[in-house]
């Protein structure tokens, strides 16, 4: 499929706000994503233009077993929570999250303005996500969908 270049902000917002089960879905209410990679049919990696309203978080604190992730801040001043440490980020700052690090991460918008950033992740098969602060674990199915379970393995 051949497409012309397009303004990233013209790509529709993702209809599905989150794949988290409740009560966790409510925690990312102030987050909007434009799935740029999916729009162009990319298969090997995903890239999202993500916007956080004041007070919003990017995701629950988490880390992946197989997927590397990368963020690049375009606008605003989010706080990167990385394990027990916090770092104020500015436009032009970036950070890479190596798979299987065991260090949870998330972005938090503690500012009064909007935060916009690019998030990039590979699409490694068989990935799992651990949520150290929550009774939650995500397991990627063979079809690429996420299945959420409690830490004891029971389904949500």
Per-residue confidence at 138, pLDDT binned at 50, 70, 90?
very high
Tell me the C-alpha distance between 24 and 28, whole Å: 7
DSSP 3-state percent helix, strand, coil across the chain (nearest 5): 5, 40, 55
Note the pTM of the prediction, 2 decimals. 0.94
- pLDDT value of position 143: 85
- pLDDT value of position 127: 95
**Bridge partner list, 149:** 137, 155
- pLDDT value of position 44: 94
- pLDDT 10s digits, 83-129: 999 999 999 999 999 999 999 999 999 999 999 999 999 998 999 99
Q: What is the mean pLDDT of the chain?
A: 95
Domains of the chain (ranges; CATH) run: 19-126 (2.60.120.10)
- CA distance readout (Å), 69 to 100, 139, 148, 155: 11, 17, 20, 26
pLDDT (average), residues 77-81: 98
Tell me the C-alpha distance between 108 and 78, whole Å: 6
- Asked if residue 137 has pLDDT above 80, the reply is yes
- Residue 130 token pair: 């651990």
- pLDDT value of position 40: 95
Nearest CA among 136, 139, 140 for reference residue 25 = 136
């Amino acid at each position: 499929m051949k497409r012309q270049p397009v303004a990233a902000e013209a790509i529709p917002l993702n209809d599905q706000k989150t794949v988290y089960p409740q009560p966790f879905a409510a925690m990312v209410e102030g987050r909007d994503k434009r799935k740029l990679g999916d729009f162009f049919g990319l298969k090997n990696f995903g890239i999202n233009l993500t916007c956080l309203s004041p007070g919003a978080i990017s995701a629950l604190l988490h880390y992946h077993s197989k997927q590397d992730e990368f963020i690049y801040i375009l606008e605003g001043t989010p706080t990167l929570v990385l394990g027990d440490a916090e770092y104020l980020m500015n436009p032009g700052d970036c950070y890479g999250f190596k798979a299987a690090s065991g260090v949870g991460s998330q972005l938090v918008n503690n500012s009064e303005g909007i935060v916009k950033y690019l998030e990039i992740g590979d699409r490694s098969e068989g990935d799992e996500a651990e949520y150290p602060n929550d009774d939650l674990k995500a397991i990627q199915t063979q079809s690429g969908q996420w299945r959420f379970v409690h830490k004891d393995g029971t389904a949500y």
